[in-house]
Structure 1
Amino acid sequence: MLFLKFALAIIPIVWLIVSLSRLKMPSHKACGIALIITFILAISYWKLSVVNTSTAAAEGVLTALWPICLVIIAALFTYNLTVHTNAMDTIKKMLAGISDDKRILMLMIGWGFGNFMEGMAGFGTAMAIPASMLAGIGVDPIQAVTACLVANTMPTAFGSVGVPTATLAQVSGLELAPLAANVALIEGLITFISPFLMIIICGGGIKALKGVMGITLTASLSFVVPWFITAQFLGAELPDIIGSTCSILCMIAAIKLFKNKPSPEYSIGLVNEDMKFKISSKDGLRAWMPFILILVFLVVTSTLFPVINKPLSSIKSSFQIYSGEGGKALSFIWINTPGILIFAAAIIGGLIQKASIAEIFKVFLSTLKKYWKTVFTICAVIAIAKIMTYSGMISDIANMLVVTTGSFYPFVSPFIGVLGAFITGSGTSSCVLFGKLQQETAVSLSLNPYWITAANVMGAGIGKMVCPQGIAIGTSAINAVGSESKILSAVFKYFIFYTLLACIICFAGAWINI
């Protein structure tokens, strides 16, 4: 009976694996069909009433729209607006004009700026934009994409102003603050290693670290330390943003301090003459203004400033959607939510960049038009997760995992997150699919649910390294469509290394009872 329940419960997951990886079906169609399959299974086998199944799905859709999709659209709108006002070109020139050494540019653009874009926008921008910039200034395109895929693993957890971890907390029923703290703890070692691997990829071996070890160590520590501290004390929204900002500033200081002699072997030459022109402080400040405002708004409205945080957070509505047993009221915070704050910062920043209201509105509409499929996909995935949770499907999968893996489960836990991201191409979707499963399995095995659930988002970041969608974005960014197999073969050994290391870290942490 247990195996039958397990076999039926994983049908939606198996369908997603087959439809996305084998049938190459668009994710919004595959997830829509998966939702229908889940709906039918919940009613026919798990005997959840039509009303309860419908309200479970409705709860999932509303949870997806506010605040998850709100943040995603706001972040992508901000990026699109900076492209429209040509501010992104200014930012690119500022970053590319710092050094002639491709290793240093890899750290500055691929690590510092890439992590900043992950924290602000995520969803492919953190890999595509740095990779295209690096390829555009002379870095080998395949190396650029490979290094950016490696860099964009661990920052995924706090990407898009913390959406993956915040979503993981919602679907698992865990508190966000301790979950964010556990995520930073479990990801710390791999995050520290990433910049060193980027240099090895960029320079063709360990020998590339010679001469830039100091700057690489600076890039790593200046990100990891503030990133970790922010996650411990401020939560999931700001670690990537604060960590990357500190890292960029410290790298600039380190470049001046170490004064590395130009190495002909790693010199790229500024192939684009525009990169040689200096950007005035005024133009630079204007270009960065939307991102500066996002950082300011998120910090000022955080719990660091309770005088502002409490009144804004009190503007909310709470009501229950799910009509069955175990349903809880959902709270919708209307003002002090990252999506609204990002929209406000983007609009003000756009006006400072001389964009008209009409232009800003046009960019917003084009963003909605471009990403409606992403919104639909996330709504469908979270609706699936809610139905599976309320019907008992997740519990049945968890029970099977408890029986088959037992105390060995912590070693397997990160791989489940890897699988979710490989299937969906999204760290957030992986958390939605398997977050509750990880939490319930941890509780059944008397393990720390925060540690085990954090392993899911760690695995999700690693899974993005080899997911078809991510690699396709990379090839598009460097205008090398058709080179997917080259990139996959280049990144695969780092994927295996990270996956095994993540499994060992999770198992060791569970063994010492973190």
Structure 2
Amino acid sequence: MSVSVHQLAFEQRLHPVGGSLALSALVAALPLAAVLILLGGLRVRAHRAGLTGLAVAVLVAWLTFGMPLGQTLSAGAQGVLFGLFPIMWIVVNALWVYRMTVRTHHFDILRRSFGRLSDDPRIQALVVAFCFGALLEALAGFGAPVAISAVMLVALGFDPVKAAVVALVANTAPVAFGAMGTPVVTLAQVTGLPLDTVASVVGRQTPLLALVVPLVLVGLVDGRRGLRETWLPALVCGIAFAAAQFAASNFVSAQLADIAAALAGAAALVAVPSAREPAREEVRVAVLTGVRSGDLDEEDPRREVLRAYAPYALIVVIFSLAQVPPVKDLLARATQVFDWPFLDVSDAEGKPVGANVFSLPLVATGGTLVLLAGLLTAGVLGVRVADAAREWAATVGELRYAILTVTSVLALAYVMNLSGQAATIGHFVAAAGAGLAFLSPILGWFGVAVTGSDTSANALFGALQVTAARESGLSPALLAAANSSGGVLGKMISPQNLAIACAAVGLAGKEGDLLRKVLPWSLGLLLVMCLIVVGQSTAVLGWMLP
């Protein structure tokens, strides 16, 4: 039941500090400043920084923006619930599926299967880091693709540093649609824009990165020789990946975008004759400077190989069926829509905000569909019910700090959005005018570089981008999407991802060395994305937008 008593109604104010927009924006930015300083400057753990930022946001909303304390806490509670369901509900169940494949050793079978596709390390980098890494990003995200891809490359004989760099750079194009579309789902929720609209625009930006990243990867693996000899497989892989990501995000489902892209890229890659040719010994000697895993030559029964691929096939089938109109309508019947308790908020123009009503998709959400796939996976892989339950509980335990981080950041975002803090900052930032299109991806990049998560950066800056866009006359969908698309390029330099990569390949303490190697690629690709967004904000590339 919503609280509609007149004296509890709250109308957002844009100039609460001395009637000055600039001073009000400065105060409104304190929660974001607290998070960014604690994370980037003082190296405080992410969940502690998120909780601190949330506390600052509550105080600013209550004491400065005049939001009643009860409504402020209610806004934060709504953010916590959204962080738990559907966001972390997706992540937990996706990682649970992966953990079951590790438990039954079918993940090792999958790794050996990839190793047999080609003995050319440049092609292996594309198969493992770009294609399979994108599939892992689609299913789990939150650092898992970098860690798993890097370990697999080391097992194939890659030098640990090179394996980590390749895994980090590869983890770009799929990030915006990672964890079954979690970043764009979050972006749509915090901005109030339709999910289909946001996903459609992101799907017309990040595929352009996919055209470039495979070429960058073969260059990283084998320099100019790698580009000269394997440019065709890399380009074909990138084109297929980009086309599938565009098609799925625009015409099918944001949740399936990375799955479709990963499978299409891999299929196109192995279809190129030169990608299947044995590598020359001089290439292998020059590139594979590490120790090759001894189990790569083991032969696996065909039945077990099929079982190793089964979890991913099940997820594709289940999500595809969920998009069939009659099935989609059936699943949607379980969605609960209700007035959020103790919340009655209007924007600065006196219009009720969308967050007064909350939608809870119990079945028609990615996490529940992945849970179903996980239950079927347990049966296919022969995991007993008790063991599957223990793996699920262990997954929750492993993600406990990530859960706390995501829920605190989303609670912070909801408090800032509903109290008017984000709107105030957005109105102030809108003074950048046309330059906002260039700055928009940079803001997303900075957010992900600091938080390590495109989801968190979208929660923090999504509403701000939309407000600034409306005030400056730009497309709200374009700048919201730019936040996510620019953000994906900050992931490779985030302290969390650097630490994950180093830990995975045994280079703990070498994060600074990795940062120096990937930073130029992060900045270079960011510049490309900024120019794309600027072009899309004008007649030059405006035709690309839906």
TM range, normalised to the smaller chain?
over 0.9
Correspondence for 1:324 among 323, 344, 358: 344
Counterpart Cα distance in 1 of 2:247 and 2:470: 27
Q: Secondary structure at the match of 1:480?
A: coil
Deviation at 1:206, TM superposition (A): 2.4
2:36 aligned with 1:8: no
State the match for 2:280 in structure 1. Answer: 262
Aligned-partner residue type, residue 241 of structure 2? F
Deviation at 1:332, TM superposition (A): 1.1
CA contact (8 A) 2:118 2:277 kept: no
CA contact (8 A) 2:118 2:276 kept: no
State the match for 1:138 in structure 2. Answer: 157
Deviation at 1:351, TM superposition (A): 2.1
TM-score, structure 2 normalization: 0.91
CA contact (8 A) 2:219 2:226 kept: yes
CA contact (8 A) 1:381 1:429 kept: yes
Q: Deviations over 1:260-310 (max 9, x none)?
A: 5525223549833321223332111111212111111000011xx112111
Q: Deviations over 1:101-150 (max 9, x none)?
A: 11011011011111111111111111111111101221122122112211
Aligned-partner residue type, residue 435 of structure 1? G
Backbone CA RMSD of aligned residues: 1.5
Correspondence for 1:479 among 506, 513, 536: 506
Counterpart Cα distance in 2 of 1:13 and 1:308: 41
Aligned-partner residue type, residue 208 of structure 1? G
Correspondence for 2:98 among 79, 82, 88: 79
State the match for 1:147 in structure 2. Answer: 166
State the match for 2:12 in structure 1. Answer: none
CA contact (8 A) 1:177 1:234 kept: no
2:298 aligned with 1:277: yes
Q: Secondary structure at the match of 2:524?
A: helix
Q: Deviations over 1:208-264 (max 9, x none)?
A: 112212211221112111111111101310111011112222222225776355252
State the match for 1:287 in structure 2. Answer: 308
Aligned-partner residue type, residue 52 of structure 1? Q
State the match for 1:372 in structure 2. Answer: 400
State the match for 1:431 in structure 2. Answer: 458
CA contact (8 A) 1:82 1:88 kept: yes
CA contact (8 A) 2:428 2:468 kept: no
Aligned-partner residue type, residue 132 of structure 1? V
Tell me how many residue pairs correspond in the alignment. 510
2:150 aligned with 1:123: no
Counterpart Cα distance in 1 of 2:416 and 2:270: 49
Deviation at 1:314, TM superposition (A): 1.3
- After superposition, where does 1:434-513 map in structure 2 within 5 Å? 434-512=461-539, 513=542
Q: Deviations over 1:431-486 (max 9, x none)?
A: 00001111111111111111111100011111111110010000011011011111
- After superposition, where does 1:47-196 map in structure 2 within 5 Å? 47-196=66-215
Q: Deviations over 1:473-505 (max 9, x none)?
A: 000110110111111111111011011111111
Deviation at 1:51, TM superposition (A): 1.2
Stretches of structure 2 that go unaligned for 5 or more consecutive residues are 1-19, 346-352
State the match for 2:371 in structure 1. Answer: 343
CA contact (8 A) 2:175 2:454 kept: yes
Deviation at 1:318, TM superposition (A): 1.0
Counterpart Cα distance in 2 of 1:407 and 1:210: 40
CA contact (8 A) 2:120 2:279 kept: no
2:326 aligned with 1:307: yes
CA contact (8 A) 1:131 1:145 kept: yes
2:249 aligned with 1:221: no
State the match for 2:6 in structure 1. Answer: none
Deviation at 1:323, TM superposition (A): 1.1
Counterpart Cα distance in 2 of 1:507 and 1:196: 24
Stretches of structure 1 that go unaligned for 5 or more consecutive residues are none
State the match for 1:244 in structure 2. Answer: 262
CA contact (8 A) 1:176 1:235 kept: no
State the match for 1:230 in structure 2. Answer: 248
